[in-house]
Structure 1
Amino acid sequence: MYTSEEVLRDAAATALLAPSIFNTQPWRWEVRDSALELRTDRSRQLAVTDPMGRMLTISCGLALHHALVALAAEGRRASVERLPDESDRGLLARITLAGVTEPADVRLRDAISRRHTDRRPFAETAVPDDVIDRLRTGAEARGVYLAELHADSLVRFQVTAARAGELDADDPAYQAELAEWTHRPADTRDGVTPATAVAPTPRKVPLRSFFPAGAEGLLPGPGHDGGARYLVLWTTDDTPADWLAAGEAMSAVLLETTASGLAASPMTDVVEVPASRALLHRLLDNLGNAQAALRIGVPATDEAAPPTPRRAAGDVIDTDR
């Protein structure tokens, strides 16, 4: 029979598979007094790319949702306090167990280990509309809105993505930070590896270049993103609470995408750069604040995208014993 502490620790261990900006994995988990606390790890914040901590908080929101999915799949009802202590900005959430229930979200839990960011172009096959409907429902359940960029706005989105890439390429500080997180020693178990990156290739909307000097190891495959669909997660406000909610919504979208047999890759560069973020804001008709953009589609090959490295549970999860 598992103790509450063991159940919570297992959920935190599952959450280590959540994606994060530059695969920084900027979180810490603490099991304290039968509660699981999620904290930011500011030592892993990207000072140039993410000076406000928006993407750090979104990354932690992804991990939070992963942990909650793991608990629900085990039939554990969880109570969550988000940003519970105004005097402790590093504490993002506190999870406590609130009883036993029927297992839920099992298909999403099973998708956690299969989900990998796929930067290869997708096939020409269209993504079904009912999948988009499920993604929108999952996001809105967390107070986050999902907008799709249709043909009339895709040209402007292409310009937005290209502009973000140009601004990054011209910023020596950004390039130094990118190099730091794409040339990591193997024993750090983090960062973006060449095996997961694809060299620039013809596609509808350009993706971030992680290795400007050329070191990508993943072949692009036969697709050209003809059937890809482009989504933006946005919130009405722009506070840390909104960033955390956006991360949870992004996790729900990514896991549902995987469970539906599709693939996805976040496009966070269009949100990180202020100029491109402003352009994206106009694409949303100035309705709200863009927190993340996603490219989803049908894989063009049966070969699964490679996983990125993950830190060991003992390096990330603290247990009060």
Structure 2
Amino acid sequence: MSHQTPATHRPLATALAEAAAMAGHAPSVHNTQPWRWRVLPEALELRMVRDRQLAATDPDAELVTLSCGAALHHARLALAAEGWTATVHRLPDPAEPELLARLTDPRPAGTDPDAMRSVQCMQVRHTDRRPVSDEPVSGDALNAIATAADGEGARLEILNRDQVLQLAAAASHAAAVEAEDPQLREELAYWTSRAGGVGLTPEVLPEEAPQTTVPGRDFGRPGNLPVGPGHDQAASYGVLHGDEETPVSWLRAGEALSAAWLAATRLGVSVVPLSGVVEVAGTRQILRQVLSGLGYPYLVLRLGVADPAHAGPPHTPRLPREQVVDTTAVDGTA
């Protein structure tokens, strides 16, 4: 079945390849970018790359699946910005668990201005682990961010002050547990010393631990990012959660993370993901109690207004396009 290219837009195979490439801007745990796309004449496939899974931190491939979900949402928006809509099949083949999604039946559609703005946000989105300003995030902005997550199949619960204190205690305990695990420390050291387009470079890691209510991850080494004065007392914290802990639910959680983060970027809200508390079984259970048992936690988000005195940190590196996008099935046809 052939499809007509929307007027003034690129051919379908080119649009699919460009959407896959744009998905490379998605956030991922430790900037592992654990995805690979295969471009077909009329479809796009997303696969998990096991070699970039955090074996010690994420043995059940939950965070890698979440990371790939964020890339999936980025690709969907990039296609919409090009004037295409497609059907998403999540985990379409039980015999091939690494195949996380297949986008099929692409159809011409009107260009989506909202998706175009989201694509612009993909290219400026970043993680700033320094303290935020003293300006709190407005209730309207928090509601908009939570609504964006809800539209993708997960919920973002904004915590009250007492819940934040419970979260802080759980995060502190999780950090202590992980600090005692030599495999986790070795894995973290590997991903903070990589070169070649993945991992966390010194330029994006604080030179000292920031003053925060909820402790961030101890990366085991100082970075080069000046922290400066300040505290995150005006920050808000939310828990991304859902009704299940299945591969599909973790994939949808990644799509919800992408939607929430892009909405936050558009609203001028800084986002810092905190996964440590869900990496340790005991503190993950505590976090579920914080949610009153109403859902399974996937990720914690710190939300704040960036300090205007801070220049934004550099973007984390990205893998070359040819390492994450396979176009061999369409080369010469786009």
Shorter-chain TM-score category? over 0.9
**Contact 1:61–1:245 (Cα < 8 Å) also in 2:** yes
Take 1:75 and 1:302, find their aligned partners in 2: how far apart are those partners?
37
Secondary structure of the residue that 1:16 maps to in structure 2? helix
Q: Is the 1:267–1:293 contact (alpha carbons within 8 Å) kept by the matching residues of 2?
A: yes
* Residue 108 of structure 2 is aligned to residue 99 of structure 1: yes
The equivalent of 1:203 in structure 2 is: 212
| Alpha-carbon shift at residue 194 of structure 1 (Å) | 1.2
**Residues 1:153 and 2:166 are matched in the alignment:** no
Query: Does structure 1 residue 270 correspond to structure 2 residue 280?
Result: no
**Counterpart for residue 227 of structure 1:** 234
**Counterpart code for 1:76:** W
Q: 1:74 to 1:33 in 2, by over 3 A?
A: closer
> Match for residue 15 of structure 2?
7
Q: 1:18 maps to what in 2?
A: 26
Q: What amino acid sits opposite 1:72 in the alignment? A: A
Supply the distance in 1 between the matched residues of 2:245 and 2:103 (Cα, whole angstroms). Answer: 24
Q: Return the alpha-carbon distance in structure 1 between the equivalents of residues 49 and 155 of structure 2.
A: 27
Please give the residue correspondences for 1:233-248 in structure 2 after superposition, counting only pairs within 5 Å. 233-248=240-255
Q: Which runs of 5+ in 2 are unaligned?
A: 1-8
Which residue identity lines up with residue 170 of structure 2 in the other structure? T
Question: 1:36–1:95: 8 Å Cα contact kept in structure 2?
Answer: yes
Distance 2:230 2:22 in 1: 32
Q: Distance in 2 between matches of 1:194 and 1:276?
A: 28
User: CA–CA distance in 2 between the matches of 1:9 and 1:83?
Assistant: 20
Matches within 5 A, 1:301-316: 301-316=309-324
- TM (normalized to structure 1)? 0.96
Would the aligned equivalents of 2:130 and 2:210 in 1 still touch at CA under 8 Å?
no
Count of aligned pairs = 317
Deviation readout 1:70-102 (Å, 9 max, x if unpaired): 112222222211111111111111113122223
Give 1:256's aligned residue: 263
Give yes or no for the alignment of 1:288 onto 2:295. yes
Cα shift at 1:192: 0.9
- Could you tell me how far apart the structure 2 residues matched to 1:147 and 1:162 are? 20
Kindly provide the CA deviation profile for residues 30-87 of structure 1, in whole angstroms up to 9, marking residues without a partner as x: 0023211000001111110000000000000000001111112222222211111111
Letter in 1 for 2:198: D
CA distance in 1, matches of 2:95, 2:68: 19
Which 4+ runs in 1 deviate beyond 4 A?
Answer: none
Which amino acid counterpart does residue 255 of structure 2 have in structure 1? E
Q: Which sits farther off after the overlay, 50-59 or 267-276?
A: 267-276
What is the CA–CA distance in structure 1 between the aligned matches of 2:156 and 2:107, rounded to whole Å?
30
Per the alignment, residue 125 of structure 1 pairs with: 135
Give per-residue Cα distances to partners, 1:104-144, cap 9 Å, x unaligned.
32221110011001101111101011111111211111221
The one-letter code of the counterpart of 2:166 is R
Q: Distance in 2 between matches of 1:51 and 1:256?
A: 30
Match of 1:89 in 2: 97
Q: What is the identity percentage for the equivalent residue pairs of Structure 1 and Structure 2? A: 42
Q: Distance in 1 between matches of 2:286 and 2:231?
A: 25
Q: Distance in 2 between matches of 1:75 and 1:222?
A: 46
The AA in structure 1 aligned to 2:136 is A
Residue from 191, 194, 197 that aligns with 2:202? 194
Could you give the per-residue CA deviations for residues 215-263 of structure 1, whole angstroms, max 9, x where no partner exists? 3111113331121110111011110000000000000011111111121
Q: Deviations over 1:4-29 (max 9, x none)?
A: 11100001111101111111110000
Distance 2:261 2:181 in 1: 30
Distance in 2 of aligned mates of 1:174 and 1:279: 21
Q: Which moved more, 1:287-296 or 1:132-141?
A: 132-141
Structure 1: tracts of 5 or more residues without a match = none
Secondary structure, counterpart of 1:56 in structure 2? helix
Counterpart selection for 1:317 from 312, 322, 325: 325
Task: Give the root-mean-square deviation of aligned CA atoms.
Answer: 1.2
- Once residues 40 and 228 of structure 2 are traced to their aligned partners in structure 1, the CA distance between those partners, rounded to angstroms, is 47
Q: Secondary structure at the match of 1:94?
A: strand
Q: By how many angstroms is 1:302 displaced?
A: 4.6
Q: Quick one: distance in 2 between partners of 1:10 and 1:123?
A: 36
- How far apart, in 2, do the equivalents of 1:302 and 1:109 lie? 24
